[in-house]
Amino acid sequence: MIDDDRPDLLSFTPTELRSAVEEHFRSRGQPGYRTDQVERWIYEGLARSPSEMTDLPAEEREALDRAFRIAEPETAMVQVSEDGTVKHLWRLADGELVESVLIPTQRRLTLCISSQAGCAMGCTFCATGWGGFDRQLTAGEIVGQYRASRRWADENDHGPISNIVYMGMGEPLSNRKAVHPSLTILNQGYGVGARRITVSTVGVVPGIIELAERPEQFRLALSLHAPDSELRGSLIPLEKRHPLPELVEALERFEEAGGKRITFEYTMIDGVNDALELIGPLAQLAERVDAFVNLIPFNPIPYQDWGPSSPVRINAFADGLSARGVAVAVRETRGRDIDAACGQLRGHTLVQIEKGATPT
Ligand code: SAH
Ligand code: SF4
């Protein structure tokens, strides 16, 4: 399928889809309502092929299939954690593997999706970073993870997916060509509210500014992990290209754009970024851009012998921040038994494949 040059219906924004499909039917002398039918099948019916579009005449289903593809990823592996977290490994048309995670909580079902196969950023605490960069995902491959996960959730008696976070593999703001349309498609096509979609970035400044300029209120999570440039630079190579002062200015612009909430992600690594003296500077940064702080225990990876900060230390951070008026939450690690942290399932699977085992 790699040399398949049919345009992918899943990569079109709703406006593009309408005009391409309208044009297709017009050239075939078909009535205008055929486009409405296809639109419904894509966004509501989650059709994977025109053959499922049962209210189209057979010859129109075939013609649609000749003109367009619907490139939804296939399931390479699914794992359900003891705590209900569900991890999918998806196989894309060229065999590339990416993952997504469904995280059920009492009131929500959050889907964490990937935006790239691998990641070029090389953060030293991240399994995906160590694995290197393979390729960009298309908008359709990003949206395809949502469609396939929604179908799985329906079939397995979960509620609807309420929230989407771009926190799987890859740096979304290094793939803006696909991520911008994917946001539009999820929001306008599939009806996921902008405030329920969070883009997580390690600090790609031009991308943050572009997101600030969008009219929708998508949320931003900034993977901060350290409140000063020196320490941050030792964890995140991008800090050298977009140092903290520049980053904070971009965050201020995002915040000033109005109604857009920023979250700081702070992964707590024992003896690396959890000194109590860091609480003050972290609180100052959070105050400047009115950020909510998520403290996340580090999830050990095969490439480093680091461990998570102790619960006592994490609580001391949380208490210190809230005493300074910062809104803070300690995020529990979900799905630890299935390696549901960023980039880990794919890493393990590639090791298994190298050893000769094939995932189902
Ligand atoms: N590239 C984007 C989004 C994907 S990473 C970003 O960095 O924000 C999603 C989140 O997982 C980020 O906050 C990242 O810092 C965090 N993360 C990566 N490796 C981790 C690990 N081993 N333990 C805990 N969090 C980790
Ligand atoms: Fe890439 Fe995010 Fe991992 Fe850094 S933390 S290597 S940006 S996926």
Please spell the DSSP secondary structure of 97-108, one letter per residue.
EEEEEEEE-SS-
Same domain, yes or no: 133 and 211: yes
- pLDDT tens-place string over residues 59-81: 999 999 999 999 999 999 999 98
- pLDDT tens-place string over residues 113-172: 999 999 999 999 999 999 999 999 999 999 999 999 999 999 999 989 999 999 999 999
Which of 11, 41, 7, 10 shows the shortest CA–CA distance to 24?
7
- pLDDT tens-place string over residues 14-34: 999 999 999 999 999 999 999
Nearest CA to ligand 2 atom 6: 129
**In this structure, is residue 181 part of a structural domain?**
yes
Same domain, yes or no: 60 and 79: no
**In this structure, is residue 31 part of a structural domain?**
yes
The catalytically annotated residue of 99, 171, 255, 265 is 99
Neighbours of 107 (CB within 10 A): 8
* CB 200 less than 6 A from any atom of ligand 1: yes
**In this structure, is residue 247 part of a structural domain?**
yes
**CA-based end-to-end distance of the chain:** 20
State the SS3 of 314-354: HHHHHHHHHHCCCCEEECCCCCHHHCCCCCHHHHHHHHHHH
pLDDT at 117: 96
Query: For residue 218, is it left (φ>0), alpha (ψ between -120 and 50) or beta?
Result: beta
**In this structure, is residue 61 part of a structural domain?**
yes
Atom of ligand 2 nearest to the CA of 236: 4
Residue 308 domain boundaries = 74-354
Same domain, yes or no: 88 and 35: no
Tell me the HSE value of 326 on the side-chain side, using a 13 A CA sphere: 29
**In this structure, is residue 359 part of a structural domain?**
no
* CB 326 less than 6 A from any atom of ligand 2: no
pLDDT at 82: 86
Q: Which ligand is nearest to the CA of 173?
A: 1
Q: What are the distances in angstroms from CA 246 to CA 95, 209, 222?
A: 39, 11, 13
Residue 112 designated active-site: no
* CB 114 less than 6 A from any atom of ligand 1: no
Same domain, yes or no: 175 and 152: yes
Query: What count of residues does the chain have?
Result: 360
Same domain, yes or no: 143 and 254: yes
Nearest CA to ligand 1 atom 4: 167
Q: What is the DSSP letter of 215?
A: S
Strands 292-297 and 328-330: parallel
* CB 222 less than 6 A from any atom of ligand 2: no
Atom of ligand 1 nearest to the CA of 297: 24
**In this structure, is residue 311 part of a structural domain?**
yes
Nearest CA to ligand 1 atom 8: 201
Domain final position from 32, 48, 67: 67
Same domain, yes or no: 42 and 90: no
Span from the CA of 132 to the centroid of ligand 2 (angstroms)? 10
* CB 103 less than 6 A from any atom of ligand 2: no
* CB 235 less than 6 A from any atom of ligand 2: no
pLDDT at 335: 73
Q: Which domain CATH number covers 152?
A: 3.20.20.70
Same domain, yes or no: 25 and 115: no
327 burial (CB, 10 Å; 0-12 / 13-18 / 19+) is middle
**In this structure, is residue 1 part of a structural domain?**
no
Query: Are the C-beta atoms of 190 and 43 separated by less than 8 Å?
Result: yes
Neighbours of 275 (CB within 10 A): 11
Q: What is the pLDDT along the chain (360 residues), one digit of tens a residue?
A: 457 899 999 999 999 999 999 999 999 999 999 999 999 999 999 999 999 999 999 999 999 999 999 999 999 999 998 888 999 999 999 999 999 999 998 899 999 999 999 999 999 999 999 999 999 999 999 999 999 999 999 999 998 999 999 999 999 999 999 999 999 999 999 999 999 999 999 999 999 999 999 999 999 999 999 999 999 999 999 999 999 999 999 999 999 987 778 999 999 999 999 999 999 999 999 999 999 999 999 999 988 899 999 999 999 999 999 999 999 999 877 776 666 654 555 554 444 433 333 333
Grouping H, G, I as helix, E, B as strand and the rest as coil, residue 125 is coil
**In this structure, is residue 80 part of a structural domain?**
yes
Query: Are the C-beta atoms of 198 and 221 separated by less than 8 Å?
Result: yes
pLDDT at 340: 65
* CB 128 less than 6 A from any atom of ligand 2: yes
CA distance 211 to 179: 10
Same domain, yes or no: 78 and 62: no
The count of domains in the chain is 2
Same domain, yes or no: 56 and 81: no
Residue 342 designated active-site: yes
Same domain, yes or no: 135 and 20: no
Q: Which domain CATH number covers 14?
A: 1.10.150.530
Same domain, yes or no: 270 and 182: yes
Best residue for ligand 2 mutational test, from 113, 115, 123 (most atoms within 8 Å of Cβ): 123
Q: What are phi and psi of 201, to 5 degrees?
A: -130, 150
* CB 202 less than 6 A from any atom of ligand 2: yes
Same domain, yes or no: 63 and 88: no
Best residue for ligand 1 mutational test, from 121, 136, 223, 292 (most atoms within 8 Å of Cβ): 223
* CB 194 less than 6 A from any atom of ligand 1: no
Which of 102, 105, 104, 78 shows the shortest CA–CA distance to 89?
78
Atom of ligand 1 nearest to the CA of 300: 22
pLDDT at 356: 38
pLDDT at 261: 80
Atom of ligand 1 nearest to the CA of 333: 24
* CB 119 less than 6 A from any atom of ligand 2: yes
Span from the CA of 166 to the centroid of ligand 1 (angstroms)? 10
